[in-house]
Copies of this chain bind each other. A is one copy, B any other.
Amino acid sequence: MLASTSAQMHVRPHPLVPGKPVYAPAHTPARPQIISFFRAGAEIYAAGEPAGNIYQIEFGAVRVFRLLADGRRQIGAFHLANELFGFEADVTHEFFAEAINATGIRRLRLNAGEDASRELLPLALRSLTTTQKHLLVLGRHSAVERLTAFLADMAERQGRTDHVCLPMSRLDIADYLGLTIETVSRTFTRLKEQQIIRLVDSRNIEILKWSALLDSSE
């Protein structure tokens, strides 16, 4: 993670409406950098918009989600630094993507033409695997199993260190795991009481017992 993750992305270029992307003032014009900066909560793309771009996260984190008719939100995936996303099956997006925190995103352009498939396939495969994993987590019943699987996954993606940084809120986690914030919070507390994790603060977890974590997540 870079130093500029948390909240001081506000070099304060403008008084911005939350939800609008912040574009950097193009300081290094060797070649036109296609990196956009988004502040927390800013929309990267919306359902219904034309799809086809691939995005790579420079720093920050992204949630990809769908809104249901009654207002509920199901988060389908989180994406962290260096990960790719935006890849979807249809010509228009089925999901929304938002920056969770201040986030820098590089838009990758695909080669037009016949070898687009060769570029896209690995991404499709990766998406598929991720989605299948998440599916198995949601199929598991208990809140503890869902949360431990989530933590194990986040730790994995951050290099298996004992210290896991959670860039997202409890609400995000809840909407990702199909739980409520209260249950997520209580489950964190339970894992803490069992000395499986330590809560440095609400967004920083130290993993104390990997075995217990992996046991109950698989």
Contacts and interface: CB of A to CB of B under 8 A. Distances in A.
B128 A124 contact: yes
A5 to B, nearest CB: 24
A134 B135 CA distance: 7
A135 B218 contact: no
B124 A135 contact: no
Given A124-B121, A178-B139, A129 B74 contact: no
Contact of A126 (B68, B89, B136): B89
User: How many A residues are at the interface, by size bracket?
Assistant: 20 to 34
Contact of A114 (B118, B126, B128): B118
A66 B128 contact: no
A61 B129 CA distance: 23
A88 to B, nearest CB: 8
A138 interface: yes
The copy count of this chain in the complex is 2
B129 A132 contact: no
A27 interface: no
A218 B70 CA distance: 9
B139 A89 contact: no
A157 interface: no
A132 B126 CA distance: 13
A134 B124 CA distance: 17
A89 B128 CA distance: 7
Interface string A77-120: 00000000000111000100000000000000000001101101
Given A94-B132, A138-B139, 11 more contacts: A68-B136, A68-B218, A72-B140, A88-B128, A114-B115, A124-B128, A131-B132, A134-B135, A138-B138, A138-B178, A139-B175
Interface of A: 66, 68-69, 72, 74, 76, 88-90, 94, 114-115, 117-118, 120-121, 124-129, 131-132, 134-136, 138-141, 175, 178, 218
